[in-house]
Chains A and B, each alone.
Chain A
């Protein structure tokens, strides 16, 4: 929300900088360094993935350009299936966790009730537990729910992992919606449910985008739980564990590893770049109003 005011807020800063060419140069250097730092690993990943000689020689561009690594990863490596699984799991996680997080965040942001603070504390505390410690008890839990080796089991776990952060961020967002709008809706005779759909929901949509991204990443990148819970169900593997299969049988196939990494990373990257503006505004609202 606040980002919509970008341009005017910037002017003073920009005007200052225009005055001195030296400063402009300095800024150019900084931007160049920043770009180099952020992009080098990405570039290096791409470079290695396209080079038949990856792992044998080092060069800053593919010494022997090839798409073989990608071909290998997608056909023999079975990455097509892994991609589909990851996508299903991620979408399921995003939909369910956003819905649950939205409802819960409305409760904690809009209502004052007993135990409210305790619940907020709880939401914060569960984020602090090292995931590695939860592997065994969660595993047993999912076993009891009869969901081992299924994608649904994974979705359930990821929803739980993504939920606390989602509630925490959306809470700030809901709180930022002016209460007067709600009251106006009531004055028009709307029920609470109607107010929720037609007033609150559209206004917190940017916040939902931001939380969705976080849930998406959680589901897309998660490794340990996928490994333990999917067990031998290779047909249900997600990309993160699929990546492991290129390691270590005889040698580390860096070309294939980097190609697989690229395949994992690129969709997220495109997604991120597309939604970056919304992400930024979602984060601010979530963070600033927290």
Chain B
């Protein structure tokens, strides 16, 4: 899997071209990234050091307050009891759930015949294609307390006497978000892992089978090590995506701030920015979220890049 890098094409006269060419190739992309992502990113950080409100945006005058915003965030008790646990806890569960489920589905798909594999993977594609916003509305509609199909069915089966509002409780609320996120996120994992699975040399599997290894053993002792890189990518990308869930929480009943027990970092940042016109404070939250992700990505970079440079 490792990749050796070529230096310049093997001709002497090309040495200079080899020096300039990568930068020429990179220039348009870097320009776009710098103007539209990097500079705004720096600005977010600058905002986070200010009491930045509507007035500051209009006039463009800075209003520096040092690290006040950060101090306020870190001294908010809800950060530790509600917001961080919701963000981190949910991301852990969502990543674990998405990857485990996606892998399970990939294994199942690999064992199917062509016809059923096509049918099933098309269904998976359908789940993937559903935009997050639409998907969230559909789940909200399904779990609606009074007219949703979920309560209807439970009551029809006699499992529930009165309609329950699943959106008010922190746990059931996030259970629905989890369902939504896994539904939307597992196809990526399943498709990627499946492709990886199919790339595992059959000789290895046959050899193991002849040695009498059961399917579980074969899976964990041969397939998993072979797919280490695939898993690394899938896990890190899912982590980045799941830490940032926004629409899936924001669009749920109570998710936009009125149910404080379900706030996460993303929603908190947005609500403070746009609801309270405290863009500085909201930006500081966003910076913290980014830092949190940075730490996690550092691990990724070390595993993946280090291996490649070897």
Binding site for B on A (CB under 8 A): 2-3, 5-6, 8-14, 16-17, 27, 30-31, 34-35, 37-39, 41-42, 44-45, 48, 55-56, 58, 60, 100-101, 103-104, 106-113, 116-117, 119-138, 140-141, 156-157, 159-160, 163-164, 167, 175-176, 179, 182-183, 186, 192, 195, 217, 220-221, 223, 240, 243, 254, 257-258, 261, 264-265, 268-269, 271-273, 276, 279-281, 283-284, 287-290
Contacts and interface: CB of A to CB of B under 8 A. Distances in A.
A283 B192 CA distance: 6
A100 B262 CA distance: 40
Contacts of A34: 105, 108, 120, 123
A10 B205 CA distance: 10
Interface string B120-163: 11111111111111110111011000011100100000000000
Contacts of A48: 141
B110 A10 contact: yes
B38 A240 contact: no
Contacts of A254: 141
Contacts of B23: 107, 113
A8 B202 contact: yes
Is chain A's binding surface mostly helix, strand, loop or mixed? helix
9 closest cross-chain pairs (CB), A and B? A133-B286, A284-B195, A137-B40, A160-B36, A104-B29, A2-B199, A107-B25, A137-B43, A111-B22
A179 B304 CA distance: 21
Interface stretch (B72-80, B91-99, B164-172, B287-295): B287-295
25 contacts: A9-B197, A9-B200, A9-B202, A12-B202, A35-B123, A38-B124, A41-B142, A41-B183, A44-B142, A111-B21, A112-B5, A129-B44, A132-B269, A132-B286, A133-B289, A133-B290, A136-B279, A138-B40, A141-B35, A195-B9, A269-B130, A273-B126, A276-B125, A287-B192, A288-B199
A126 B42 CA distance: 11
A258 B37 CA distance: 34
A186 B18 CA distance: 14
B191 A186 contact: no
Contact of B131 (A3, A104, A112, A220): A220
B244 A131 contact: yes
A261 B274 CA distance: 26
A125 B300 CA distance: 11
B305 interface: yes
Interface in B105-124: 105, 108, 110-113, 116, 119-124
B201 A243 contact: no
Contact of B26 (A8, A104, A125, A127): A104
Contact of B129 (A176, A271, A290): A271
B29 to A, nearest CB: 4
A100 B202 contact: no
Given A107-B22, A130-B290, A264 B305 contact: no
B286 A186 contact: no
B84 interface: no
B183 A272 contact: no
B81 interface: no
The residue among A9, A221, A258, A290 with the most chain B CB atoms within 10 A of its own CB is A290
A9 B286 CA distance: 45
A10 to B, nearest CB: 6
B32 A288 contact: no
B123 A38 contact: yes
A87 B141 CA distance: 28
B4 to A, nearest CB: 8
Contacts of B111: 10, 13-14, 17, 27
Contact of B47 (A37, A113, A137, A264): A137
Interface of B: 1, 3-11, 14, 17-19, 21-23, 25-26, 28-30, 32-33, 35-41, 43-44, 47, 57, 105, 108, 110-113, 116, 119-135, 137-139, 141-142, 147-149, 152, 183, 187-188, 191-192, 194-202, 205-206, 209, 215, 229-230, 232-234, 240, 244, 246-247, 265-266, 269-270, 273, 279, 282-283, 285-287, 289-290, 293-294, 297, 300-301, 304-305, 308
The residue in B11, B137, B246, B269 that gathers the most chain A C-beta atoms within 10 A of its C-beta is B137
A129 B133 contact: no
B272 to A, nearest CB: 10
B138 A258 contact: yes
Given A31-B116, A141-B36, A269 B126 contact: yes
A3 B198 contact: yes
Q: Which of B21, B125, B289 has the most CB of A within 10 A?
A: B125
A39 to B, nearest CB: 5
A290 B290 CA distance: 22
Contacts of A41: 127, 130, 135, 138-139, 142, 183
B74 to A, nearest CB: 18
**Residue picked from A120, A129, A133, most chain B C-beta under 10 Å:** A133
Contacts of B188: 283
Contact of B125 (A35, A141, A223, A273): A273
Contact of A164 (B18, B33, B191): B33
A3 B195 contact: yes
Given A34-B120, A132-B273, A265 B37 contact: no
A96 to B, nearest CB: 9
Interface centre among A100, A183, A220 (most CB of B within 10 A): A100
